[in-house]
Structure 1
Amino acid sequence: MPPTLCSNAAGAASPPAATGSLWPPLARAAVAMGVDGLFMVVHPDQEQALSDEPNMVPLHRLELLLTQLVAIRAAVVGGAAVSTL
């Protein structure tokens, strides 16, 4: 099974590196190392979220992060970046 990176799924205790501020660089590093799947908690208003607030990627930052991840993936596997955004 390919490796997957999750941000505090189902309210599980998360390691310090999974907190919201460190999630984007952690995701970029994971994709660069070949991780095939990411699970991110995203919310348009992080402070109003009912759960997982500290682990969220703010919605307004998601498009840039996904664009970066797709480009990193393309560099790792070779070939053109393909996005479904």
Structure 2
Amino acid sequence: MVYVRDLPIFAAYAESLGWEPDAANEYEDDEFNSFRKGEFNIIVTDKCSFFSSMVLSTQVCKKLNLLNKADRIMVFDAIQKGVLTIESNL
């Protein structure tokens, strides 16, 4: 995750360096964009609150050593959207 001041300016610069906008950008909300260059992928935002919540979500998942994808998604949703969904496999 990369925070930039102006996403359109960054996008133009990244594309001039060979980074290609990810096709998923067309379907996502306006919180972030992603770019690919070969095997590399970067996620970029110019929304400070979104960036902060992503960093916090990542830190919580790392601290708790969450290896299960559903658990990580639950943490991200709880922190970013204020939504807690607990799925039971019982």
TM class by smaller structure? under 0.3
Task: Give me the TM-score of the superposition, normalised by structure 1.
Answer: 0.25
**Whose Rg is larger?**
2
Select the structure with the greater relative contact order (CA < 8 A; seq sep ≥ 6).
1
Task: Give me the TM-score of the superposition, normalised by structure 2.
Answer: 0.25
